[in-house]
Structure 1
């Protein structure tokens, strides 16, 4: 059971702004926050961390540019979503096929998969050996009902 007096959890930092648009400066502050929380994260035997991430808005400009580059037609009136997946490098194709089949069941249109760029040079040996392949599935809602779409994503999250 959670105990407020315990202080052994990994660190979490939040930087948020409601009134200004996202900026590169904000991203730099977030990265500084991550660096300052290094002592709060779990470490492998080789002294390297177990990973950290940054949550941002969906980069719609990037997604639209990639859709255009890949010559993928998309109805701009439909919602776009991103599915973040951490795949075993040995089973990427099977995993993607499984997810694509489930998406069809829920009338969610798969637009494309993108491999998330990572820099494995910064990882220690243990982390590099166990590093998953990170992909993002770009999808579009075929449903008009946002409620149904949200329910579908909750189910897919459990896969």
Structure 2
């Protein structure tokens, strides 16, 4: 539900109150990324389930942003024959890509184009592949609209380190515009997992979150 707030000091966007979402923030004081913190955040979101919007019995969407799971990526790189320690390098980055369901048959072509443009921007790709998901847990609407989830990871090549995050963001916005895709995240710091459904669906859809 939206309600107009009468306050001339507010920007037009901020003058509309939005009261149908739940936001949870969980931070470790020491700044160390742990899977336990991810689990606690998901549990907190589950307790806020009464704030979820529902469409025909399905949750309208939920997501979580967390630090790049570097231990997971170290193992993933190692299985590809790539030096595992690169996942802990400050110049390591991860892109989560969602390709619309209507473009499913063209997914590989789109990924190839994404990879080409990433390389042209001065970044080295170490890994790309379909993300691990369990589509059996989706409701009818979510299953019909399910995008292709793809993960791309790499290391900085020719971009000045202080410009890496800015370069990733500019690439993200450009590729979304020209290719009609969506990046939940494209960063050297964080990743985003999102799904059309409830928090329980989120946890079951992405095995990485368990």
Q: TM-score higher than 0.5 here?
A: yes
How many angstroms does 1:120 deviate by? Answer: 2.3
For 1:18-62, what per-residue CA distance to the aligned partner results, in whole angstroms no more than 9, with x for missing partners? 2264444433321112212323233222x1113322222112222
Runs of 4+ in 1 over 6 A off after TM superposition: none
Match among 13, 21, 40 for residue 29 of structure 1: 40
| Distance change >3 Å, CA 14–CA 4, structure 1 → 2 | farther
Residues 143 and 149, structure 1, Cα contact 8 Å, conserved in 2: no
Determine whether 1:62 maps to 2:72.
yes
Residues 28 and 37, structure 2, Cα contact 8 Å, conserved in 1: no
After TM superposition, the structure 1 stretch with the greater mean CA deviation from structure 2, 141-150 or 97-106, is 141-150
Unaligned runs of at least 5 residues, structure 2: 1-11, 176-210
For 1:73-98, what per-residue CA distance to the aligned partner results, in whole angstroms no more than 9, with x for missing partners? 57846721001111133332122111
CA distance in 2, matches of 1:20, 1:137: 25
Aligned-residue Cα RMSD (Å) equals 2.4
Determine whether 1:153 maps to 2:164.
no
CA distance in 2, matches of 1:110, 1:20: 28
Q: State the match for 1:13 in structure 2.
A: 24
Match among 107, 114, 134 for residue 122 of structure 2: 107
After TM superposition, the structure 1 stretch with the greater mean CA deviation from structure 2, 75-84 or 123-132, is 75-84
Aligned positions of 1:67-82 closer than 5 A: 67-73=77-83, 76=86, 79-82=91-94
Task: State the SS of the aligned residue for 2:77.
Answer: helix
Higher RCO structure, 1 or 2 (CA under 8 Å, sep 6+): 2
Residues 78 and 84, structure 2, Cα contact 8 Å, conserved in 1: no
- Matched positions, count: 158
TM-score (norm 2): 0.65
Q: State the match for 1:92 in structure 2.
A: 107
TM-score (norm 1): 0.83
